[in-house]
Every structure is written in structure tokens, then in C-alpha cells.
Amino acid sequence: MKCPFCGSLDTQVIDSRVSEEGDSIRRRRRCAACNKRFTTYETAELRLPQVVKQNGSREEFSKEKLRTSFMRALHKRPVPTEYVDAAIERIVQELLSLGQREVDARRIGEMVMAELYKLDKVAYIRFASVYRSFEDVDDFREVLKDLGSAETKKGKR
């Protein structure tokens, strides 16, 4: 580790401790050249895949964009923030578990729709209408019919 004071590469670890959250290691170091002490933190780097848009462009995955999508769909709906946070975390964990460097935006959209379906049917329809580019009322009827048949099946179990 390079000393932030003199730039020497000759430093040694004096003390190591796991953080309270358990997700990082705090290390106290001392520079052999200038004898000054400094602290470093070691954390695991989890890289989410890049998102491949429909037009072929790529961008970094953004948790904030995901949250914005949820909040727009859930606007004025009685869904607690904790449920939204949990849904976002499930999507992030699923993306990490894929182990891929790139993922289609379409796949993320499908994940969002699956989570919204569990959270709130109205929000699901709102998101689906934009995501699937509904053209007319018949598109809404189709989704409502699918929702109705899914609810009927659920009730028969």
C-alpha cells in the first residue's frame, strides 16, 4: 500500500479489524519511510452487469433508475417503502447471481414487472402499459383478462 503522505511503498499493517456491519476490514498502517500512520478499508467489489438497451447502447446499472421506475408505477398506491426496497434488493441479487457482464434492459423490465405483480396489481398495469407500449384500450383489456384469470386460478388452489 502506498503511503498517502510520502508515496513510499514500504508500509506495514499495525492493526486489522472487521467493521461493525461485517462488510469491510479496517486496517491501521504505518509508513516505514516517514513513520506516519493512516487507515485503509478493504471491501468486496460487486460489479453489477452493464445494461444493454434496445438500441444496442450500454450503460451502467443504476439502482436509482430502478427505484424511480418503481415509484412512478406505485405513485399514490398503498405500498410501504420497505416492500419496494426488498423488491429492488431481490432484483439486484438476481442480477448478481446471473454472473453476467451484460444484461438486456428487457430482462430487467421483466423482473420489475414480476415484482410489481406481487406488490400491487394497479402498479403492475401502469408499468406494463408503458413498458409494453400499449396502443389502445384492447391492450389494457388483455392484461386485465390475464390478471383476472390468474386471480381465479389462485382462488381455486
pLDDT tens per residue, the chain (157 residues)? 999 999 999 999 999 999 888 889 999 999 999 999 999 999 887 788 999 998 999 999 999 999 999 999 999 999 999 999 999 999 999 999 998 999 999 999 999 989 998 999 889 888 887 766 666 667 667 777 777 666 655 554 4
Residues 20 and 97 in one domain: no
Q: How far apart are CA 72 and CA 13, in angstroms?
A: 49
Kindly state whether residues 55 and 92 are assigned to the same domain: yes
Domain hosting residue 37, numbered range: 11-43
> Are residue 127 and residue 56 in the same domain, yes or no?
yes
Evaluate if pTM is beyond 0.85: no
Q: How many domains does the chain have?
A: 2
H or E segment and range at residue 11: strand 11-18
Examine the domain organization and report whether 39 and 68 are in the same domain: no
